[in-house]
Chains A and B, each alone.
Chain A
Amino acid sequence: MLNSDLKLAKNIFDTPDMAPTRDGFGTGLVEAGEKDSRVVAVCADLAESTRILAFKEKFPDRYIEAGVAEQNLATVASGLANYGKIPFIASYATFSPGRNNEQIRTTVSINNVPVKIVGSHAGVSVGPDGATHQALEDIALMRVQPRMTVLYPCDREQARKATLAAAEHQGPVYLRLAREKTPIMTTAQTSFEFGKAQLMWQPKDRRKKPDVVVFATGPLLYNALIAARDLEEKLAVVVINIHTIKPLDAATVVQWAKKAGAVVTVEEHQVAGGLGGAIAEVLASQAPVPVEFIGVHDQFGQSGEPAELIAHYHMDAPSIIDAITKVKARKAK
Chain B
Amino acid sequence: MPLGEDKVLEIQNKARAIRETIIEMLVAAGSGHTAGPLGMADIFATFYFHILNHEPHNPEWEERDRLILSNGHIVPVRYAAMAHAGYFPVAECLTLRKFGSRLQGHPERTKLPGLETTSGPLGSGLGQAAGIAYGARMDRKRFRTYVVMSDGEQDAGNTWEAAMFAGNNKLHNLTAVIDRNNIQINGMTEQVMPLENLRGKYEAFNWHVLEVDGHNIKQFCDAIEEAKAIYEKPTVIIAHTIPGKGIKEIEFDYTWHGKPPTKEEAKKFLHELRTLGGKVKSEHQ
Contact = CB atoms under 8 A, between A and B. Distances in A.
Given A62-B138, A83-B132, A106 B165 contact: no
Contacts of A112: 109-110
B54 to A, nearest CB: 16
A183 B5 CA distance: 74
A66 B162 CA distance: 9
Interface in B130-168: 130-136, 138, 157-158, 161-162, 164-165
A111 B117 contact: yes
B128 A76 contact: yes
A78 B125 CA distance: 10
Contacts of A75: 124-128, 130-131, 158, 162
Nearest to B120: A106
Contacts of B124: 71, 75, 78, 103, 106-107
Contacts of A74: 127
A89 to B, nearest CB: 11
Contacts of A67: 161, 164-165
Given A76-B162, A112-B110, A106 B135 contact: no
Q: Which of A61, A74, A110 has the most CB of B within 10 A?
A: A110
**7 A-B pairs closest in CB distance:** A79-B131, A75-B127, A72-B161, A83-B135, A69-B161, A76-B131, A79-B128
B110 to A, nearest CB: 5
Interface in A153-195: none
A83 B116 CA distance: 9
A85 B158 CA distance: 21
B208 to A, nearest CB: 20
A1 interface: no
B119 to A, nearest CB: 7
B129 interface: yes
Contact of B127 (A61, A76, A83): A76
Contacts of B116: 82
Nearest to B115: A111
Contact of B134 (A71, A80, A102, A110): A80
B108 interface: yes
B138 A79 contact: no
Interface in A190-224: none
Interface of B: 108-110, 116-121, 123-136, 138, 157-158, 161-162, 164-165
A84 B119 contact: no
A77 interface: yes
Nearest to B70: A75
A269 B125 CA distance: 32
A61 B116 CA distance: 25
Q: Which of B109, B120, B132 has the most CB of A within 10 A?
A: B132
Nearest to A87: B131
A64 interface: yes
A72 B168 CA distance: 13
Contacts of B157: 71
10 contacts: A66-B161, A67-B165, A69-B161, A71-B158, A79-B128, A80-B131, A82-B116, A83-B136, A106-B119, A110-B110
A111 B161 contact: no
Q: Which of B116, B129, B131 has the most CB of A within 10 A?
A: B131
Contacts of A79: 117, 127-135
A66 B131 CA distance: 11
A40 B109 CA distance: 23
Contacts of B128: 75-76, 78-79, 82, 107
Interface in A33-68: 40, 61-62, 64, 66-67
Nearest to B72: A106
Contact of A103 (B133, B135, B158): B158
B164 A76 contact: no
Given A69-B164, A112-B110, A83 B158 contact: no
B110 A111 contact: yes
Nearest to A66: B165
A82 B164 contact: no
